[in-house]
């Protein structure tokens, strides 16, 4: 039974293949097109998923789409989407999704449409390994729903209550994100990272934005929001309420901005704790599953688990819309086979492309001779890398299959020594080229985690925060409030990364590395060897490890290549178009 899950036409489009209920592969379209948050139908991802499994379109039993286009269209009509007119109604025809799949993917078989929040719910529950669970999904908006409450048992998911648009915690968060001068759908992480610098002086104002109601319901006080008109997120009334001017993009970040971020975070956590407690009282389960974009708020996740009666929690690592592809495929599997997919908990999410040392060598071409070759000696490779890390080098680490979802978990990562007090600033400014306040996360050997962090369970997907234990001096991964967003690494889930952490412990005494995604601001995480090389050259990464090859930064070589790149040599994919192609007209 081959089921393809697809998410598309909003942001983070993706494709995955579920074979007899087992996740075989999954990839976001942006990684292949190099267009950040690519929302188009994932044609490249589709080809890749099928090619990797040696399948053709006729081998697909079903394509599961992560949304119901009819309901979504109804909501767009209701919300007075100004792009919809009588003369272009056909452009918004809900049938277009099916037509696109047929036409652009060349697929003639069965298509199943799964509601947006059901897709989120299934993506979390079916990979949680729980026999039963309460489910909370929270995001900006799906069709009508923005928040759903569900109970699951065995193969059955029942979403028994929904909060409807425009009442949305995701949109509340995005509104303040916009208020603080960050990009909606992109800057929410930044607000979360900014919050610990502040104090919740504006919590009372933020509370006025939401009215808590019975059961799982809440409503936004729409006088403070303007997103219905599609021009901007907040109204002038919100500016009056907050009493702080809207921050212009790239303007300086002041204390008041940090305080607003903190206030939002506090209020979000209050609401989530209240609603998750409500959920607990409605379901007969100790297990909680979270999904939807808001579930990527790892700070809130930790608070939810700590402050509600649920004993266990699972958060879908691709909680954003890309993960909807997984959930849709799972739900379609249940519909078609009557069986539950994915019986056990998912422990790793390395489902993307990988490159053998031979393939890497082919792409490197003449550049191979600049590399140290450890393709036949992993032990020495790890020794060399760990030594460099201990010496304060920043490493681009490109190994095995690429991760699915927004986090780099040790296969497309930038790594560094967490003990170095300057490391956060170095990586933020010279490598990632992003805002200086943003924190970095630690990856730690699973068995050693509790020695360093207040965490008593696995966190393989970097979706929870916890406190760093007192006395542990790791400034590069410890946030201003003493917290860290931990990734636990096991030998089973990622052997080479685990061994590197062990080796680093041998040299440094610490089984922990700073781990951040291998990309620069505005670009998707690197996917191919060429992506990694170009990212390496265009940043200040000291050393690049591609499979079994190590490249130490040779300034002369880099200068030479940069000079060529600087001369309009086409390399970097532009957003939405192949405009790096040499052309005249």
Instruction: Give the closest residue to 266 by CA, choosing from 172, 187, 182, 150.
Output: 172
In the complex with another protein, the residue whose CB is nearer, 103 or 473, is: 103
In the complex with another protein, the residue whose CB is nearer, 204 or 569, is: 569
Cβ contact 440:477 at 8 Å: yes
In the complex with another protein, the residue whose CB is nearer, 85 or 311, is: 85
Region of 121-129, 205-213, 508-516, 571-579 interacting with another protein (CB under 8 A) = 571-579
Cβ contact 174:297 at 8 Å: no
Region of 176-184, 394-402, 443-451, 557-565 interacting with another protein (CB under 8 A) = 557-565
In the complex with another protein, the residue whose CB is nearer, 374 or 551, is: 551
- DSSP states of 512-567: EEEEEESS-TTSPPP-SHHHHHHHHHHS--SEEEETTEEEE--HHHHHHHHHHHHT
Long-range contacts of 367-374 (CB under 8 A, 24+ apart): 367/533, 367/551, 368/549, 370/551, 370/554, 370/557, 371/546, 371/549, 371/550, 371/551, 372/549, 372/550, 372/551, 372/552, 373/548, 373/549, 374/548, 374/549, 374/550
Residues 224-253 close enough to bind another protein by CB under 8 A: 229
211 forms part of the interface with another protein (CB under 8 A): no
Residues 70-109 close enough to bind another protein by CB under 8 A: 70-71, 73-75, 77-78, 80-82, 84-96, 99-100, 102-106, 108
573 forms part of the interface with another protein (CB under 8 A): yes
Q: Token digits for 64?
A: 């599961």
Handedness of CA 452, 454, 457, 461 (dihedral sign): negative
Buried b (16+ CB within 10 A) or exposed e, 130-158: beebbbbbbbbbbbbbbbbbbbbbebebe
In the complex with another protein, the residue whose CB is nearer, 57 or 129, is: 57
Residue from 243, 338, 365, 471 touching another protein (CB under 8 A): that is 365
In the complex with another protein, the residue whose CB is nearer, 17 or 533, is: 533
Cα atoms found within 13 Å of the Cα of residue 403, Cβ hemisphere only: 26
Q: Residues binding another protein: what is the number (CB under 8 A)? A: 75
CB of 546 to another protein, least distance (A): 12
Integer-rounded Cα radius of gyration of the chain: 23
CB of 372 to another protein, least distance (A): 16
Residue from 213, 457, 522, 569 touching another protein (CB under 8 A): that is 569
Instruction: Give the closest residue to 514 by CA, choosing from 427, 410, 443, 436.
Output: 443
553 forms part of the interface with another protein (CB under 8 A): no
Contact flags string 511-550 toward another protein, x per CB under 8 A = -----------------x-xx-xx----------------
Long-range contacts of 93-99 (CB under 8 A, 24+ apart): 94/69, 94/70, 95/69, 96/69, 97/8, 97/9, 97/65, 97/67, 97/69, 98/69
CB of 415 to another protein, least distance (A): 23
Phi and psi (nearest 5°) for 115?
-55, 145
In the complex with another protein, the residue whose CB is nearer, 58 or 344, is: 58
Residues 330-359 close enough to bind another protein by CB under 8 A: none
Phi and psi (nearest 5°) for 210?
-125, 135
Helices marked H in 95-207: 95-105, 116-125, 169-179, 188-194, 203-207
47 forms part of the interface with another protein (CB under 8 A): yes
Region of 52-60, 176-184, 307-315, 441-449 interacting with another protein (CB under 8 A) = 52-60
Contact flags string 366-405 toward another protein, x per CB under 8 A = xx--------------------------------------
CB of 142 to another protein, least distance (A): 15
CB of 30 to another protein, least distance (A): 13
Residues 15-44 close enough to bind another protein by CB under 8 A: 34, 43-44
In the complex with another protein, the residue whose CB is nearer, 84 or 491, is: 84
Residues 416-445 close enough to bind another protein by CB under 8 A: none
In the complex with another protein, the residue whose CB is nearer, 46 or 518, is: 46
Residues 440-479 close enough to bind another protein by CB under 8 A: none
Q: Report how far apart the first and last C-alpha atoms of the chain are (Å, whole number).
A: 49
Instruction: Give the closest residue to 135 by CA, choosing from 26, 282, 337.
Output: 282
In the complex with another protein, the residue whose CB is nearer, 470 or 568, is: 568
Region of 53-61, 193-201, 305-313, 438-446 interacting with another protein (CB under 8 A) = 53-61
CB of 527 to another protein, least distance (A): 9
Residue from 281, 380, 429, 570 touching another protein (CB under 8 A): that is 570
Cβ contact 110:59 at 8 Å: no
In the complex with another protein, the residue whose CB is nearer, 4 or 194, is: 4
Q: Token digits for 22?
A: 């087992």
576 forms part of the interface with another protein (CB under 8 A): no
Helices marked H in 231-371: 236-242, 255-282, 298-307, 321-337, 357-364
CB of 490 to another protein, least distance (A): 30
In the complex with another protein, the residue whose CB is nearer, 81 or 235, is: 81
Phi and psi (nearest 5°) for 461?
-115, 10
Region of 285-293, 341-349, 362-370, 465-473 interacting with another protein (CB under 8 A) = 362-370
Residues 98-157 close enough to bind another protein by CB under 8 A: 99-100, 102-106, 108, 144
In the complex with another protein, the residue whose CB is nearer, 75 or 479, is: 75
In the complex with another protein, the residue whose CB is nearer, 213 or 425, is: 213
Task: Give the DSSP letter of residue 331.
Answer: H
Q: For residue 577, what are the contacts with CB-CB under 8 A and spacing of at least 6?
A: none
In the complex with another protein, the residue whose CB is nearer, 105 or 290, is: 105
Residue that is written with structure tokens 């809900």 in the block: 94
Q: For residue 36, what are the contacts with CB-CB under 8 A and spacing of at least 6?
A: 30, 522, 523, 524, 575
Distance CA 476, CA 425 (A): 8
CB of 405 to another protein, least distance (A): 22
CB of 51 to another protein, least distance (A): 6
């Amino acid at each position: 039974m081959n089921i393809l899950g697809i998410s598309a036409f909003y942001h983070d489009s993706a494709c995955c293949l579920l074979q007899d209920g087992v996740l075989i592969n999954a990839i976001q379209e942006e990684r292949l097109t190099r267009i950040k948050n690519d929302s188009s139908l994932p044609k490249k991802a589709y080809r890749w998923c099928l090619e990797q499994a040696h399948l053709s379109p006729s081998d697909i039993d079903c394509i599961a789409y992560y949304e119901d286009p009819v309901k979504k269209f109804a909501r767009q009509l209701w919300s007075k989407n100004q792009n919809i007119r009588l003369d272009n109604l056909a452009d918004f025809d809900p049938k277009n999704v099916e037509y696109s799949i047929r036409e652009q993917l060349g697929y003639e078989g069965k298509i199943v449409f799964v509601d947006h929040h059901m897709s989120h719910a299934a993506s979390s529950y079916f990979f949680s390994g729980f026999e039963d669970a309460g489910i909370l999904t929270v995001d900006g908006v799906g069709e009508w729903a923005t928040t759903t409450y569900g109970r699951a048992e065995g193969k059955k998911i029942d979403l028994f209550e929904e909060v409807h648009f425009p009442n949305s915690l995701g949109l509340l968060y995005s509104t303040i994100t916009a208020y603080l001068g960050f990009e909606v759908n992109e800057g929410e992480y930044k607000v979360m990272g900014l919050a610990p610098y502040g104090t919740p002086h504006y919590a009372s104002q933020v509370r006025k934005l939401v009215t808590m109601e019975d059961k799982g319901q809440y409503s936004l006080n729409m006088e403070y929001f303007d997103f219905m008109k599609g021009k901007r997120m907040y109204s002038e009334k919100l500016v009056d309420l907050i009493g702080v001017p809207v921050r212009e993009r790239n303007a300086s970040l002041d204390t008041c901005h940090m305080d607003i971020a903190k206030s939002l975070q506090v209020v979000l956590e209050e609401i989530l704790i209240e609603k998750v407690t409500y959920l607990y009282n409605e379901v007969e389960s100790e297990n909680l599953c979270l999904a939807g974009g808001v579930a990527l708020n790892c700070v809130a996740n930790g608070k939810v688990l700590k402050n509600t009666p649920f004993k266990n929690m699972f958060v879908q690592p691709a909680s954003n819309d890309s993960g909807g592809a997984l959930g849709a495929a799972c739900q379609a599997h249940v519909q078609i086979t009557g069986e539950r997919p994915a019986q056990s908990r998912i422990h790793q999410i390395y489902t993307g492309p990988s490159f053998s040392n031979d393939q890497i060598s082919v792409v490197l071409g003449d550049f191979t001779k600049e590399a140290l070759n450890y393709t036949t000696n992993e032990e020495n490779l790890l020794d060399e890398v760990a030594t460099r890390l201990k010496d304060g080098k920043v490493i681009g680490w490109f190994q095995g299959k690429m991760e699915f979802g927004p986090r780099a978990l040790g296969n497309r990562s930038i790594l560094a020594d967490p003990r170095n007090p300057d490391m956060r600033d170095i990586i933020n400014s010279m490598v990632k080229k992003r805002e200086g306040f943003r924190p970095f996360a630690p990856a730690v050997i699973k068995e050693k985690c509790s020695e360093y962090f207040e965490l008593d369970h696995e966190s393989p997907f970097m979706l929870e925060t916890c406190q760093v234990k007192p006395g542990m001096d790791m400034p590069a991964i410890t946030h201003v409030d003493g917290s860290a967003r931990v990734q636990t690494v096991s030998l089973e889930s990622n052997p080479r990364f685990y061994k590197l952490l062990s080796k680093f412990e041998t040299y440094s005494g610490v089984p922990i590395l700073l781990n951040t995604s291998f990309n620069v601001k505005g670009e998707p995480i690197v996917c191919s060897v060429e992506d990694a090389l170009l990212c390496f050259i265009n940043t200040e990464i000291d050393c690049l490890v591609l499979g079994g090859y190590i490249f130490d930064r040779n300034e002369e070589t880099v200068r030479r290549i940069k000079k060529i790149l600087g001369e309009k040599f086409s390399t970097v994919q532009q957003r939405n178009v192949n405009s790096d192609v040499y052309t005249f007209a």
